[in-house]
């Protein structure tokens, strides 16, 4: 059996959507980056924009990163992505709650710095577990025995994708996607078969033009997804055996 507690974090991301904003890369570099040097101590990247050339609003104009490669920030006019990823075998795993706590602080500083409207919120989590035959395991885990005789008797790959819409924490109407699939983990030139679970929770795109999330609401959203991600994973891979 594979239990939810067996999964390890490989990456996480927190995103704000800023539908009205037109960012200035020079303003961000001179005003915001000095405050964030403790987190993003690697060389920053600025996308050069030739005069008169329109730039897609969701294309990153500024990219900040930690020298270790673990933390990364992509800033576009329409959105900002803050992410952490496991870059090496020896990289210390960041607790999910700690990531979203730190990300909330940074994103609130960004919002206050630009005085922008936040129209949508999103969070993404990727977790994995080493499994020698992940395709076969997932087929047996999610499918009835009759399907395991054929056509799912020897799958090399397998994916189960589910979508739900519900009210998160009793206040945020969200979409939730869960993808259970096979994959390969590459660490130090070694590739190992894994089960990968991708989770994505976000507020509705239909409400991006009218929503204006406050600092407290942003904090409440990311605190709620921290709990919900674990709850959902445990539904798919219960710690206790199923009846």
Q: Are 108 and 115 in contact (CB under 8 A)?
A: no
Burial 197-225 (b: 16+ CB within 10 A, else e): bbbbbbbeeeebeebebeeebbbbbbebb
Instruction: Give the integer Cα–Cα distance in Å for 136 and 152.
Output: 8
CA gap 24, 45 in Å, rounded: 14
pLDDT by residue for the chain (243 residues), tens only, comes to 899 999 999 999 999 999 999 998 889 999 999 999 999 999 999 987 777 777 789 999 999 999 999 999 999 999 999 999 988 776 778 899 999 999 999 999 999 999 999 999 999 999 999 999 998 889 888 887 776 667 767 677 888 899 999 999 999 999 999 999 999 988 767 788 999 999 999 999 999 999 999 999 999 999 999 999 999 999 999 987 554
pLDDT of residue 62: 95
pLDDT for the residue numbered 147: 67
Q: Which residues are bridge partners to 181 per DSSP?
A: 159, 196
Q: Phi and psi for 4 in degrees, rounded to 5? A: -60, -35
The token pair that represents 224 in the structure block:
């709620």
**Domain range summary for the chain, segments of one domain joined by +:** 4-236
């Amino acid at each position: 059996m594979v239990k939810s507690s067996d999964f390890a974090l490989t990456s996480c991301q927190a995103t704000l959507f800023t539908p009205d904003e037109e960012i200035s890369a020079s303003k961000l570099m001179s005003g915001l980056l000095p405050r964030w040097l403790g987190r993003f101590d690697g060389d920053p990247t600025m996308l050069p924009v030739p005069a008169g050339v329109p730039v897609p609003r969701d294309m990153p104009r500024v990219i900040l990163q930690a020298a270790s490669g673990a933390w990364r920030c992509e800033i576009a006019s329409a959105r900002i992505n803050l992410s952490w990823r496991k870059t090496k075998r020896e990289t210390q795993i960041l607790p999910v709650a700690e990531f979203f706590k730190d990300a909330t602080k940074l994103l609130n500083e960004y919002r206050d710095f630009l005085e922008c409207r936040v129209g949508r919120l999103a969070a993404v989590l990727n977790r994995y577990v080493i499994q020698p035959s992940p395709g076969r395991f997932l087929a047996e885990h999610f499918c009835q025995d009759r399907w395991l005789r054929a056509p799912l008797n020897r799958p090399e790959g397998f994916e189960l994708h589910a979508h739900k819409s519900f009210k998160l924490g009793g206040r945020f109407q969200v979409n939730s996607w869960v993808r259970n699939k096979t994959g390969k983990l590459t660490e130090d030139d070694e590739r190992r078969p894994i089960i990968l679970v991708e989770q994505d929770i976000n507020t509705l795109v239909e409400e991006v033009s009218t929503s204006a999330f406050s600092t407290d609401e942003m904090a409440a959203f990311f605190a709620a997804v921290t709990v919900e991600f674990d709850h959902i994973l445990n539904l798919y891979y219960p710690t206790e055996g199923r009846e």
